[in-house]
Amino acid sequence: MRPFLLRRDELPNWIKHLARESQVYFPQRAGRSGFRFKQVREGSLIQLEHYRPTIVPPGKKLFPAEEILFRYQTMGDEIPVVTPVLDASKQILAGVRPCDLKGIDLMDRVHGEGVPNPHYLSRRTHTTIIACDCLYPCDDACFCDAVGSLGWRKNADVFLTALDDEILVESFSERGRTLVQRTALPVCDAVDSFKERVDVRRSKPFGRQFSVPLSQIGPIIAGQWSSPVWENHVQRCFSCGSCNLVCPTCYCFNVRDDFELSDGSSGGRTATWDGCMLPTFSIVAGGHDFRPLALARQRHRVKRKFQYLTQRFEEGAFCVGCGRCGRQCTANIDIFDIVNDLIQKVEG
């Protein structure tokens, strides 16, 4: 399908039109300067400008902080009847930026690998994504271009590129084409010209940059196991886990079994977020803790994003450069600074 053009001032009406038929989430103001993905209502403020990354990424709508995995019911001495709980409600995530789009794609791979996670995949199957391009860095914390996220388009059903008073609307899937077809939009006859003007306008360099190509970062980190950089950055770490909770590509979880106190014959299993920076994360049976030091936990986290998972999934980085962990860290620890210092140790 050929791309369409949408006037910028028509975007709110289009999004609200979709929200009348589906559950739509769009980044909206929360407090004075923050944003979060909230359900769109008739009175919602819908706009693409003045955006700051939401504290919680949109991918968490597919992997909530707490979810019931299954319920069980026993009948006397019989084997308990176990009933899985799968969320199949339809939703649209609109206004998703390229970094978060990449984060969702990476989580699709993680939850689809080996024994697939049916709870994540059920939500993902029923989720439509309307993503949008970035012409300027969100703020000084982002480094999406440095980790290959800025140009990400994969898994977007509809992609929006805004320039001045117009928005180029491209559909990349059958689901996306269905969304666009239901709205009478004029066809764009000068797509190449539009994208050329966008490229000219886009900030260069875009956000923070590493001094070496992304392909060299994994090998550099692999050779820095005992680097003093780890200690330099972890000295002020509280091990609060904020970085894990806001990261688009952190997916560790714990499970809790609950039963009804009234009769003990029924209950369920619930999954809750967990994080590798928390002091109790690495405690195993018998009370053994194989990462008791915050330094070891932080090193593991960085290696997961730039070494371990990149090798496993053949991807340049499992960090999408959104900058959320640095923004939310109570001690101002930034994964970009850690990696950059490791690079400088090798170069210097």
Q: What is the pLDDT along the chain (348 residues), one digit of tens a residue?
A: 689 899 999 999 999 999 999 999 999 988 877 899 999 999 999 999 888 899 999 999 999 999 999 999 988 778 889 999 999 999 999 999 999 999 999 999 999 999 999 999 999 999 999 999 999 999 999 999 999 999 999 999 999 999 999 999 999 999 999 888 767 677 888 889 999 999 999 999 999 999 999 999 999 999 999 999 999 999 999 999 999 999 999 999 999 999 887 777 899 999 999 999 999 999 999 999 999 999 999 999 999 999 999 999 999 999 999 999 999 999 999 999 999 999 998 876
Which helix (DSSP H) or strand (DSSP E) does residue 99 occupy? helix 98-112
Spatial distance between the Cα atoms of 30 and 251, rounded to a whole number of angstroms: 25
Residue 128 in contact with residue 92, Cβ under 8 Å? yes
What does the pLDDT read at residue 80?
A: 87
Q: Is 282 helix (H, G, I), strand (E, B) or coil?
A: coil
What does the pLDDT read at residue 336?
A: 98
- Determine how many CB atoms are found less than 10 A away from the CB of residue 195: 16
∠ CA 333-63-23, rounded to 5°:
115
What does the pLDDT read at residue 140?
A: 93
∠ CA 177-179-185, rounded to 5°:
85
What does the pLDDT read at residue 261?
A: 77
Residue 321 in contact with residue 147, Cβ under 8 Å? yes
Q: What number of CA atoms fall less than 13 Å from residue 12's CA on the CB side?
A: 10
Domain that holds residue 295: 4-347
Q: Is 285 helix (H, G, I), strand (E, B) or coil?
A: helix
Residue 43 in contact with residue 201, Cβ under 8 Å? no
pTM of the shown model: 0.94
What does the pLDDT read at residue 263?
A: 77
Which helix (DSSP H) or strand (DSSP E) does residue 290 occupy? none
What total of structural domains would you count in the chain?
Answer: 1
Burial of 253 (0-12, 13-18, 19+ CB in 10 A): middle
Q: How far is CA 185 from the centre of its chain?
A: 30
Of 224, 235, 234, nearest in space to 347 by CA: 224
Please name the residue that has the structure tokens 């550099």. 220
